[in-house]
Structure 1
């Protein structure tokens, strides 16, 4: 992709240094760590947070909710996209529902999730409802892009629908998933954390951020933001590395 061709590690590093310097200058100008703490104070706070015994449980708690949220959204997106491509009635029937999910403000989803579910499960529903339309439309678009000549040939030879799904649509689904996996997983993670801030479940990044806010510890809030950014980068790197590995191993291709 173009963004990877244009990517230059040295320029990225320079960009990071520039924004760190800008952050430090703003800290000096504002001169109020309640509004904006210094980068050094934030990094010290990050070090303190990651050395706490509860840190790993907090991280795993949020990652678990993010995984289940994404898994639920992906499962429904795969099943419904296949049914939609096989049956035009189902496709048209689902259009109002998908448009409704896309139009509903995120805060409305948050409030409904908190009403319907307990504090631990509400962030899972928030992430799933927000990401589902993106996954559904992305996968459906990729299935529709299947060469019409192949579909026509399968119809001519009376190939069973189950075999068409298994050997044509499922590979197209995984092909489409590879294109949107990283962005949707990252979005799910951010929405789940946002939901945790309001729901405050046990062992969650969101509840830790909320706690820092209650104590007016802006440095702690910034520290958790840094940790979230680092986690996102690590997850994105793992996903991209796995994609490259699959590309080299033909036997792993779906």
Structure 2
């Protein structure tokens, strides 16, 4: 029964993929201009050439590293400031306007400012952190605020140790909020990192490759690198969910 379900699941994915490739091919035929929309087969051929180049793997590796660094920093600081702000009203009022400003400001504005402040390599890490931090911070604060007050009161009455209250009450209550924020941060951080790389153009980066493809009007390579961005984003989120579900269940 399980094998049959798995088979049907993969069959459905194949049908969906085939459908959109056919749509892509029809759009290519309709527009009939390789500059605007390259043929799927040409993009596949370009991708086959790219994956055998050292530059390809260097660009992918460095882009992933910068993104993970930005996400890691945002998680650490998001947790720390989230805990502080949820227990201290003044700190919440102090940080909240900054978070609102970050959420409201277009990402391109931050990238341009960061280009003045940092080197091209560090721009990506900073932008990734900046986009992910509000998500982590907000969810940690919300999670702590929504902890059942009756359970906390009961723990206080029975004089339960603070470490036990933290591990058995706060962590399970906050975890769903935190988990959701992390999953969202992966997708958002990855897209923000690539956008930052397009403008900052560090030596090895997917964003830099996208910019060069656009500069030389190579639509097949532009689509190929875009496909790589999408695939890595899907793999990131899938791996994270699988590891999170298996290792950190509450």
The residue number in structure 2 matching 1:21 is 22
- Per the TM alignment, residue 167 of structure 1 is displaced from its structure 2 partner at its CA by 5.0
What count of residue pairs does the alignment treat as equivalent?
A: 243
Q: Indicate conservation of the 8 Å contact 2:210/2:225, yes or no.
A: yes
How many angstroms apart in 2 are the aligned matches of 1:26 and 1:106? 31
User: Unmatched 5+ residue regions in structure 2?
Assistant: 1-7
Call closer, same or farther: CA 1:155–1:92 in 2, change over 3 Å: farther
How many angstroms apart in 2 are the aligned matches of 1:239 and 1:99? 27
How many angstroms apart in 1 are the aligned matches of 2:166 and 2:90? 18
TM-score, structure 1 normalization: 0.87
The residue number in structure 2 matching 1:228 is 229
- Per the TM alignment, residue 143 of structure 1 is displaced from its structure 2 partner at its CA by 1.7
- Per the TM alignment, residue 138 of structure 1 is displaced from its structure 2 partner at its CA by 1.5
CA deviation string 1:14-72 (max 9, x = no partner): 22211111111111111111111000000111111111022221111001100111111
The residue number in structure 1 matching 2:4 is none
How many angstroms apart in 2 are the aligned matches of 1:180 and 1:13? 30
The residue number in structure 2 matching 1:118 is 119
How many angstroms apart in 2 are the aligned matches of 1:154 and 1:97? 35
CA deviation string 1:92-140 (max 9, x = no partner): 2222111111111111111111111011101111111112111111222
User: Unmatched 5+ residue regions in structure 1?
Assistant: 1-6, 247-251
How many angstroms apart in 2 are the aligned matches of 1:9 and 1:138? 34
Call closer, same or farther: CA 1:241–1:163 in 2, change over 3 Å: closer
The residue number in structure 2 matching 1:210 is 211
The residue number in structure 2 matching 1:84 is 85
The residue number in structure 2 matching 1:3 is none
The residue number in structure 1 matching 2:183 is 182
- Per the TM alignment, residue 164 of structure 1 is displaced from its structure 2 partner at its CA by 4.6
